[in-house]
Amino acid sequence: MIVFDKVTKIYSDGTVALDGTSLIIEPKEFVSIVGHSGAGKTTLVKMLLSEEKPTSGKIFFESIDVNKLKKGEIHHYRRRIGTVFQDFKLLSNKTVYENISFAMEMAGRYDEEISADVPHVLDLVNLSNKAYNFPHELSGGEKQRVAIARAIVNQPDIIVADEPTGNLDPINTHEIIQILKKVNDLGTTVILTTHNKGVIDSLGKRVITMEKGKVVRDDKSGRYSM
């Protein structure tokens, strides 16, 4: 379970990005966080990843008090959260296969596990035929599928996808959302931030709407109503 308990974030220039935000995300949920640009979605994600500290309030992941993690523990903690971003963040000098295997190497996984698991996740994102291509040889949708494969290969508890379809056309957007749904069906919590109304309406999952750093709606099977 993830808990945000009255979290406020005021950046050093005085901007109030989160204003007493409280929410609970249960294991295996698929939650979309929507809201206009500047609403605080990315700040929320950064807090969960322990990339920013709250000005006040607490964030828990299971029994972990995220802000009390020591420097040496943060690395291990972040491995439990797979991340996917709008700009893919692939390594341009590595093939699709290597982008994924590298993430496993960094997590200290054995060669046998790597050679077993990489083909498996490539199959899951329908990219087995592109294993030896480089990122510049892929479409945007394909790049994002590599990023998802890399995010899930170390079997995190949570996938955080921050505007993953921001650079994609409607067909690729649909495909990425279907893959995230599949990942969720396999038991991973998914937190998706998006502006895209079509994405939200087709999902039929929980939608949290943010405005000026506050949760203004929380619908069990929501639609985007801004």
Question: What sign for the dihedral angle of Cα 142, 143, 146, 147?
Answer: negative
For the record, the structure tokens of 139 come out as 């479409």
Cα–Cα dist 62/157, whole Å: 11
Chain-centre distance for alpha carbon 149: 12
- CA–CA separation, 13 vs 166, rounded Å? 27
Q: Does 37 bind ligand ADP (CB under 6 A)?
A: yes
- Edge-first strand order for the sheet with 16-25 is 16-25, 2-10, 56-61, 64-65
- Minimum CB–partner distance for residue 42 and ligand ADP (Å): 3
Give the separation between CA 2 and CA 62, rounded to whole angstroms. Answer: 6
- Residue 132 CB, shortest distance to ligand ADP, in Å, is 35
**Single residue of 7, 17, 48, 159 touching ligand ADP by CB under 6 A:** 17
Point out which span in 13-21, 79-87, 111-119, 215-223 binds ligand ADP (CB under 6 A). 13-21
Q: Give min distance, CB of 33 to ligand ADP, in A.
A: 8
Q: How far is the CB of 187 from ligand ADP (least distance, A)?
A: 27
39 counts as binding ligand ADP under rule CB under 6 A: yes
Q: Interface with ligand ADP includes 124 (CB under 6 A)? A: no
| Residue 188 CB, nearest approach to ligand ADP (Å) | 22
Residue 38 engages ligand ADP in binding (rule: CB under 6 A)? yes
Q: Taking the complex as a whole, how short is the minimal distance between the CB of residue 214 and ligand ADP, in angstroms?
A: 12
Note whether 42 binds ligand ADP by CB under 6 A.
yes
Q: Is 40 in the site for ligand ADP (CB under 6 A)?
A: yes
Residue 159, token pair as written in the block = 């996938």
d(CA 204, CA 153): 26
Which CB atom, from 95 or from 165, has the smaller least distance to ligand ADP? 165
A 10 A CB-CB count for 213 gives 23
Binding residues for ligand ADP, rule CB under 6 A, total: 12
Does residue 207 sit in helix, strand or coil?
A: strand
Considering the rule CB under 6 A, would residue 196 count as an interface residue with ligand ADP?
Answer: no
Q: Which helix (H) or strand (E) holds 149?
A: helix 140-152
By CB under 6 A, tell whether 55 contacts ligand ADP.
no
Binding site for ligand ADP (CB under 6 A): 11, 13, 15, 17, 35, 37-43
